[in-house]
Amino acid sequence: MNPPPQFNLTQLLYTQDKYEKLKNEKRTILSIMESEPETSLFKVTSASTPPPKLSEVSVTVKRLQDSVADLRLVPGDFGLVKYSLIEDPKTLTPVKERFKTFIKEAKEDSDLVCIDCNPSSSFMTVCALEAATHVLVPVRPDRFSILGLELLDTFVNDLHTLKVKPKFIVVLNDIPRNNYDPTVEMIRPGFRRHSRPSLRVAPFKLYRGQVAS
């Protein structure tokens, strides 16, 4: 899934003409959030109708040869930007619940559900965290990335709406073969001052029914 309003992942995979066709067919994440999205930037559809099925809003990106397995994407939608403009959390409650219901049902039909999030504390990021079993964090081995990781960990721990905290999994990117940065060693054993006693570092294995954001 590609929740950020700028939907970079979707734009990377599809031409503008193809995307417009998908949007006209209501095959974007906005159809998950609202049954008939309001055109106003400050209103949402509060009708309590069931969300669409995964097959109704997703498109196949890649199908494995000689296998029934495939990789599917729910395209993003700029219309989600309005959720960052609505200040009353109660207004967005039906939107969030509809999203969580969709994820719950999508888990039953998928080996893995991945929710692509940008590093922010937006409404969509909170929705993803509340639905996720794991948080997959790609970081570079530098001090700024570690600071960002610490801030994210604090944000998740302080988020009172999270009844069950998702597990953190760190993926180290761009590790040089030469001039090795000892910053990596700060990640591997876990942060001593963190509320989490340890921080798992990939390689990892996710099982059926799990959701990563």
Adjacent-strand bridge partners of 171: 138
For the beta carbon of residue 62, count every other beta carbon within 10 angstroms.
10
For the beta carbon of residue 212, count every other beta carbon within 10 angstroms.
21
- In eight-state DSSP terms, residue 76 is -
Looking at residue 48, its pLDDT comes to: 73
Domain borders along the chain are 1-131, 135-208
What are 47's two structure tokens? 């009708």
* Calpha distance 60→17 (Å, rounded): 17
- Read off the pLDDT of residues 101-150 as tens digits, 9 standing for 90 and up: 999 999 998 989 999 988 888 999 999 999 999 999 888 877 788 888 88
Q: Do strands 112-114 and 70-73 pair parallel, antiparallel, or not at all (unpaired)? A: unpaired
- In eight-state DSSP terms, residue 193 is T
- Read off the pLDDT of residues 150-163 as tens digits, 9 standing for 90 and up: 889 899 999 988 88
Segments in the chain forming alpha helices (H):
8-13, 16-24, 30-33, 54-57, 89-108, 123-131, 143-158, 184-187
Q: Are 162 and 130 in contact (CB under 8 A)?
A: yes
Angle between helices 89-108 and 123-131 (to 10 degrees): 40
What is the value of pTM for the model shown? 0.80
